[in-house]
Amino acid sequence: MRILITGATGFVGQALCQSLAAAGHSLAVVSRRPERAERQFADLGLTVVAADSSLAFKDWQPEGIVNLAGESIAGRRWSEDHKRELRRSRLETTEHLVMLCQQLAAEGHPPQVMVSGSAMGYYGAQPKAGEPDDVEIDEQATPHDDFNHRLCRDWEAAAMPVTEYGVRLAIIRTGLVMEADGGTLAKLLTPFKLGLGGRLGDGRHYMPWIHRHDMIRIIERLLADDSLSGAFNASAPHPVTNMGFTHALARGLGRPAILPLPAKALELGLGEMSTLLLEGARMVPARLLAAGFTFDYPTLDVAFADILSRK
* pTM of the model as a whole: 0.95
Give SS3 for 226.
coil
Domain interval for residue 149:
2-309
Q: Which residues pair with 113 in a beta bridge?
A: 64, 168
Burial class (CB in 10 A: 0-12, 13-18, 19+), 135: exposed
pLDDT tens across 231-257, in order? 999 999 999 999 999 999 999 999 998
Distances (CA, A) of 20 to 13, 49, 106, 148, 296: 10, 14, 28, 30, 18
Characterize the bridge pairing of strands 230-234 and 168-174.
Answer: parallel
Nearest to 147 by CA among 237, 267, 51, 273: 273
Region 113-132 average pLDDT: 95
310: Cβ–Cβ under 8 A, 6 or more apart, which residues?
Answer: 180
Report the alpha-carbon distance of residue 32 to residue 10 in Å, rounded: 12
- The angle at the Cα of 116, spanning 115 to 122, to the nearest 5 degrees, equals 135
Res 225 pLDDT > 70:
yes
Confidence at residue 307, expressed as pLDDT on a 0 to 100 scale: 96
Report how far residue 135's alpha carbon sits from residue 102's, in angstroms, rounded to the nearest whole number.
40
Predicted confidence (pLDDT) at residue 274 exceeds the cutoff of 80: no
Minimum mean pLDDT range among 17-31, 49-63, 167-181, 194-208: 194-208
Instruction: Estimate to the nearest angstrom the gap between the alpha carbon of 311 and the chain centroid.
Output: 23
Please determine, for residue 77, whether its predicted confidence score (pLDDT) is greater than 90.
Answer: no
- Is the dihedral angle over the CA atoms 271, 277, 281, 285 positive or is it negative? positive
Q: What pLDDT does residue 73 have?
A: 81
Within 13 Å, how many C-alpha atoms sit on residue 194's CB side? 6
Alpha-carbon gap, residue 71 to 76, rounded angstroms: 10
Given a cut of 90, whether residue 183 has pLDDT beyond it is no
CATH number at residue 9: 3.40.50.720
Q: pLDDT value at position 311?
A: 63
Domain count within the chain: 1
Q: What is the mean pLDDT of residues 79-96?
A: 93
CA distance 82 to 89: 10
Between 193 and 270, name the one with better pLDDT. 193
Quick check: 118 pLDDT over 90? yes
Banded pLDDT at 67 (limits 50, 70, 90): very high
AA letter at 278: L
Residues 258 and 239: their CA atoms lie apart, in Å, by 22
Mean pLDDT of 63-74: 90
Look up residue 127 and give its DSSP letter.
P
**Type of residue found at 210:** I
Give the span between the Cα atoms of 219 and 159, in whole angstroms: 16
pLDDT score of 180:
94
